[in-house]
Amino acid sequence: MGLGAMAGLVPGLAVPASGAANAAISMPIIKPERLKPGDTVAVVNPAGALYSSTDIQVVVERLEALGLKVKTGKYVLARHGYFAGTDLQRAEDLNRMIRDTSVKAIVATRGGWGCARILHLVDYDFLRRNPKIIVGYSDVTALLNAIHAKTGLVTYHGPVGMSPFTEFTADHFRRVLFDGEALTMQNPVRVGNDLTHTGDRVATLTPGVARGKLLGGNLTVLTGILGSEYVPDYNGSLLFTEDVGEELYRVDRMLTQLGLNGILKNMNGMVFGRCTRCDPGTGYASFTIEELIQQHTALHNVPVWYGSMIGHIPDMFTIPLGLQAEINATTGTLTLLESPVT
């Protein structure tokens, strides 16, 4: 029996679509080595500037609290307009840490804007031969996707140095990058002073279960690099995404762009984390974020849910970009099917 026939018998079973979602060619997957206490990690700033020297002190202390040694980039406190130095300076810092074989992981200091401007300057060949952990989110989405597209290296959508490393965030960071656990990620249930839990709830938009390669990141940043050589092949993927402070008509436009590029049609399922501060507002006749997601995905009959711990939020998952996983849109769970590191 073919997969198409099986899909008719098993509700929610997503079948990989034929044809590539974009021009990218899938490369063999490479996993970096897991972190150990005492390992050296680098902090670089490939995007927006920091405006206080104490910020980098806090970043270093957070990583040291995880038992790691920290190197900081030469230009981590540089400023060129709203960037942390010129494009060449930011790329130089990143490449220096890529080429430093004593560095086991690179953590972006913050997001903002700027990663896409240095994608053509990254030393992908060295990184392919000497893989290491690359972590960040928001604007770092551009780097995570580009590195995976160019090298096959699994990258990690997780906290930046300026993120609050809450107990939840630090626990998932450790379990993925230190322990290499093929864990199941599920939103916490915290009742608090109420009869039921009211925060961190999941909204199932299309129920079902699907498997595929985890790919995605910030919606604005991802759509900004579509059509370039720095986007992996999203065919048969589990798309995860998030955003912050966007007008809903812009979210609509970006989801439309994903559709026009074939990503929504060819994905196996979708996890939309949070669209923080993306409310309809007080005006009349606005769609909600859940309505927009459903409008753009309903015809594709793949599992979709909203509200995962992915986004501009204090408590966040660390998601291995490029790893095989399974999602259950009914329970709101995301399960890694293999170790995320070696």
| Contact criterion met (CB below 8 Å) for 325 and 216 | no
Q: How far is residue 295's CA from residue 272's CA, in Å, rounded to a whole number? A: 14
184-240 pLDDT, tens digit per residue, is 999 988 888 887 878 888 889 999 999 999 999 999 999 999 999 999 999 999 999
Q: How far is residue 335's CA from residue 308's CA, in Å, rounded to a whole number? A: 13
Q: Which of 109-118, 159-168, 198-207 has the lowest mean pLDDT?
A: 198-207
| Contact criterion met (CB below 8 Å) for 311 and 275 | yes
Q: Which residue has the higher pLDDT, 106 or 285?
A: 106
Q: How far is residue 301's CA from residue 127's CA, in Å, rounded to a whole number? A: 38
Q: How confident is the model at residue 138 (pLDDT cuts 50, 70, 90)?
A: very high
**Residues marked as catalytic:** 138, 242, 312
Q: How confident is the model at residue 163, as a pLDDT?
A: 94
From residue 202, alpha-carbon distances to 42, 147, 155, 160, 318 in Å are 35, 31, 25, 24, 18
Q: How confident is the model at residue 283, as a pLDDT?
A: 64
36-60 pLDDT, tens digit per residue, is 999 999 999 999 999 888 999 999 9
Q: How far is residue 230's CA from residue 322's CA, in Å, rounded to a whole number? A: 14
**Mean pLDDT along residues 79-98:** 96
> How many residues would you count in the chain?
342
pLDDT at 7 over 80: no
- All structural domains of the chain with their residue ranges: 3-25+183-336, 40-177
**What element of type H or E holds 91?**
helix 87-99
Which pair of tokens denotes residue 229?
A: 């050589």
**What element of type H or E holds 217?**
strand 209-218
pLDDT at 309 over 50: yes
Q: How confident is the model at residue 281, as a pLDDT?
A: 74
CB neighbours (10 Å) of residue 164? 14
Q: How confident is the model at residue 150, as a pLDDT?
A: 97
Q: What's the CATH code, domain 40-177?
A: 3.40.50.10740
Q: How far is residue 68's CA from residue 32's CA, in Å, rounded to a whole number? A: 17
Q: How confident is the model at residue 196, as a pLDDT?
A: 85
Q: How confident is the model at residue 280, as a pLDDT?
A: 85
**Mean pLDDT along residues 248-277:** 96
**Mean pLDDT along residues 76-92:** 96
145-158 pLDDT, tens digit per residue, is 999 999 999 999 99
pLDDT at 3 over 50: no
Say what the pTM is: 0.90
**Mean pLDDT along residues 152-168:** 96
| Contact criterion met (CB below 8 Å) for 309 and 315 | yes
In CATH, which of 3.30.420.40, 3.50.30.60, 3.40.980.20, 3.40.50.300 is domain 3-25+183-336? 3.50.30.60
Q: How confident is the model at residue 194, as a pLDDT?
A: 84
